[in-house]
């Protein structure tokens, strides 16, 4: 299993959408919210994604298509 910490910043349109829910439903990754600050017009979230490398890559690629800024912070590969 691979574990990746990512920072996501979202604008007005994105904070109104259930994208964290979609991550947990549409991709084979465990989603853990480590820190977050979300308001009506801006937000940032630090997420920990855990799962197969391919699924984390698919989930991250999908996040980038939503118009949000996505930045990898840390990556750990377990046995």
Domain parsing of the chain, residue ranges: 2-77
Alpha helices in the chain (DSSP H): 12-15, 19-26, 53-65
Residue 77 or 49, more confident: 49
Question: Does residue 78 surpass a pLDDT of 80?
Answer: no
pLDDT at 18 over 70: yes
Question: How far is the C-alpha of 35 from the C-alpha of 37, rounded, in Å?
Answer: 7
Q: Give the pLDDT score at 29.
A: 96
How many CA atoms does the CB half-sphere of 75 hold within 13 Å? 10
**Which pLDDT tens digit goes with each residue over 41-67?**
999 999 999 999 999 999 999 999 998
Superfamily of domain 2-77: ACT domain (3.30.70.260)
Contact of 33 with 47, CB cutoff 8 Å: yes
Whether pLDDT at 79 is above 60: no
């Amino acid at each position: 299993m691979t574990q990746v910490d990512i920072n996501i910043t979202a604008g007005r349109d994105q904070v109104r959408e259930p994208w964290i829910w979609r991550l947990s439903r549409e991709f084979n990754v465990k989603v853990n919210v480590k820190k977050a600050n979300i308001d009506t017009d801006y937000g940032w979230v630090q997420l920990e994604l855990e799962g197969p490398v391919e699924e984390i890559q698919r989930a991250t690629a999908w996040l980038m298509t939503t118009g949000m800024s996505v930045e990898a912070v840390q990556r750990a590969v377990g046995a």
